[in-house]
Structure 1
Amino acid sequence: MNARQDLRGHAAIVTGAGKGLGRAYALHLARLGAKVLVNNRRHPGQADGDTSAQQTVDAIEAAGGMAIANWCDVTDPDSGTAMVEQARSSFGRLDIVIANAGIDKAGVFAKQSMADFRAIFDTGFLGNLHLVHAAWPVLIGQKYGRAVLTTSSAGLYGNYGQAAYSAAKSAVIGMVRALAIEGRRHGVRINAIAPYGYSQMTAPYLANEMATTFDPSRVAPLVGWLAGAGCDVSGEVLVCGGGLVRRAGVGETDARPLSESDIGATVHDLQPLPWQGHASASDSFTRFLGERSTLAKDTP
């Protein structure tokens, strides 16, 4: 085992870990030596009970690892606190949080009820928020921690029929970028992954023959690295699946003078320009001021 990926002595929380990507993450972290709190809202005996947290716990324990089950609904504002307290009580510590739980119910915005929108948004964003908000003081206080939140290509680029899901996953990116700045001086690193993994949720979008190529276990090693002491990046958005990984980001083009007489032409002139990323909103504004002094000296 790579020493920098050795998670022995570390404790983790993984939400949505009864199946699919979350289950793969929990199993991988346990193989690296971490003690894992496995969260999934379904209890054994409920519909689709074979995807309960207990099934994942049993698999970890059968392989010689240590895990406990948790059945909190991540949309519950108290769920994060409950999971953090359970992990610390059972394991004596908390080092890693992996927020994976999510749902999607595609529907065009004009026909989507607010109840459906909220259900998707609350799981996809607030489910991340509740866990991280509860864990953050612990990680900051001990001057060490790793957090991996789940976004999506829909959160980066949007997708037809996925306004709610796209909104939730865009919000995750904004939170990760901001918390990376806050956590930097405390030894806490937080990143987002946009995974491509074959699961119950993604099956409608991926052909059956892609199940092996996009097996969730092919995303888990990246999550394991992001969860370990060897991770030296923060605020990143990494797209991963099928044995590949890409870096995604938000950027801005160089500025152009804005004239009321030809706004449309100016906007179109911006389209082919290359993008440039920024470390923070403050850095973006500082660069904007510099460009203004160069390009718009006569503008009041």
Structure 2
Amino acid sequence: MSTLDGQVAIVTGGGKGLGRAFAIHLAELGAAVVVNNRNRVVDADGRSAADYVVDEIVAAGGRAVANYGDVSDPATADALVAAALDTWGRLDICVTSAAISGPQMFHSTTADNFAHVMAINVTGTALVTAASMKVMREAGRGRIIMIASTAGLHGEPTVSAYAASKGAIIALARTAAAEGARRGVLTNVLLPYATTQMTEEGMDPRFAEAMRAELVAPVVGALADPTSTINGQVIVAAGSGMRVADSVEGGTVMLTDSLTPDDLQSLIDKSRAGSPHTYEHALEAFKDFASELV
């Protein structure tokens, strides 16, 4: 028996690149997949990227249906969940891979570009996840994998809106993880490096083959497994390797009544040299910090 036999998944942005790799891998593991991809480009027969991924899955003996909605439209989230429930009667897995980059230097960012990137990457992720999570919480089970980027951890020149959106997704995933665990809904976030239509232009040719999108898909498969107990993790993956990432606070140092820049730099250095702190969520971090001050 495959590890995901009987499971049903939604994959947004599933027509190309990473999303396609995730949809195909989940189907290979036995899941039925709702493959979402905006219907921007169609061929002479009126077929789009999502249709071809569905064809590939079905030809291999799997189960899949296509959805062409824009994830920034609230109706798409409802339609995706309905497609899973109406076709197969359940929803177990949600993978949010739909994203755009919208590159612009920060000082040249336009309101329209920033809003468009946020609408697809953040609002689209949130709407689909929330609609899926509602069903999963009622069922008492579910696995959510949000796709972000190390740009959201470290920032990245020329893609300020994209970096901001991916940082928001990391925070969103950790929040969902804290909220859903008691109801059996586990959420994690994957930060993949891969050669896709979004990255291939700037990808160093030495890395292109080693960072094929399908090589990181097994991480999604493992996180989607109903036997998994992994929750609230941030995983960086590329090619044949992975790293775990975290939000880290340094050691606690005491402020003085007045500070010069040199004083503050000294405190920063001392905090960095102290014991690192990691937390499941912000309230836990606040309580720990406050306990050291009173």
One-letter amino acid of the structure 2 residue matched with residue 202 of structure 1:
T
- 1:137 paired residue number: 134
Evaluate the alpha carbon distance shift between residue 18 and residue 95 of structure 1 in structure 2; reply closer, same or farther with a 3 A threshold: same
* Counterpart for residue 229 of structure 1: 226
SS of 1:204 mapped into structure 2:
coil
1:204 offset after TM fit, Å? 2.8
Q: Which residue of 2 aligns with 1:243?
A: 240
Distance in 1 (alpha carbons) for counterparts of 2:108 and 2:275 = 37
Letter of the 1:8 counterpart = D
Would the aligned equivalents of 1:103 and 1:124 in 2 still touch at CA under 8 Å?
yes
- Aligned residue in 2 for 1:296: none
2:163 is aligned with 1:162: no
Deviation, structure 1 residue 123? 1.2
Asked whether the equivalents of residues 250 and 276 of structure 2 are also in contact (C-alpha less than 8 Å), the reply is yes
Equivalent position of 1:280 in the other structure: 281
- The code of the aligned residue for 1:292 comes to L
Give 1:44 shift.
6.2
User: Which residue in the other structure is 2:71 paired with?
Assistant: 74
Instruction: Report whether the alignment pairs 1:266 with 2:263.
Output: no
1:97 counterpart SS class: strand
Which structure 2 residues correspond to residues 1-300 of structure 1 after superposition, within 5 A? 6-42=3-39, 45=42, 52-262=49-259, 263-264=263-264, 265-293=266-294
SS of the equivalent of 2:133 reads helix
Which amino acid in the other structure matches residue 29 of structure 2? L
CA distance in 2, matches of 1:78, 1:272: 49
Greater shift, 142-151 or 266-275, is seen at 266-275
CA contact (8 A) 1:121 1:164 kept: yes
CA distance in 2, matches of 1:254, 1:209: 40
Contact 1:19 1:51 in 2 (8 A): no
Q: Percent identity?
A: 37
Unaligned runs of 5+ in 1: 294-300
- Which whole-Å CA distance do the structure 1 matches of 2:268 and 2:215 have between them? 41
Structure 2 CA distance for aligned equivalents of residues 15 and 229 of structure 1: 20
CA RMSD of aligned residues (A): 1.8
Give distance in 2, aligned partners of 1:253 and 1:45. 51
Distance 1:136 1:80 in 2: 11
Per-residue displacement from partner, 1:241-282 (whole Å, max 9, x unpaired)?
Answer: 111111101011111110133342323433444522012222
TM-score between the two structures when normalised by the length of structure 2: 0.93
CA shift, 1:29, in A, is: 0.5
| CA–CA distance in structure 2, aligned partners of residues 243 and 222 of structure 1 | 11
Partner amino acid, structure 2, of 1:176: A
User: Structure 2: any 5+ residue segments left out of the alignment?
Assistant: none
1:78 aligned counterpart, secondary structure: helix
For the 8 Å contact 1:98–1:148, the answer to whether it is kept is yes
- In the other structure, the counterpart of 1:298 is none
* TM superposition shift of 1:173: 1.2
Deviates more, 1:259-268 or 1:209-218: 259-268
Instruction: Give the whole-Å Cα distance in 1 for the aligned partners of 2:35 and 2:27.
Output: 11
Give 1:50 shift: 7.8
Q: 1: distance between equivalents of 2:129 and 2:170?
A: 13
Contact 1:121 / 1:168 at 8 angstroms: preserved in 2?
yes
Mean Cα displacement is larger for which, 204-213 or 92-101?
A: 204-213
Distance (Å, rounded) in 2 between the aligned partners of 1:279 and 1:98? 21
- The alpha carbon displacement at 1:113 in A equals 0.8
Q: For residues 53 and 249 of structure 2, what CA distance do their matches in structure 1 show?
A: 43
Deviations for 1:31-90, whole angstroms, at most 9, x for unmatched residues? 01100000111266259x886100000000110001000000111122111110111111
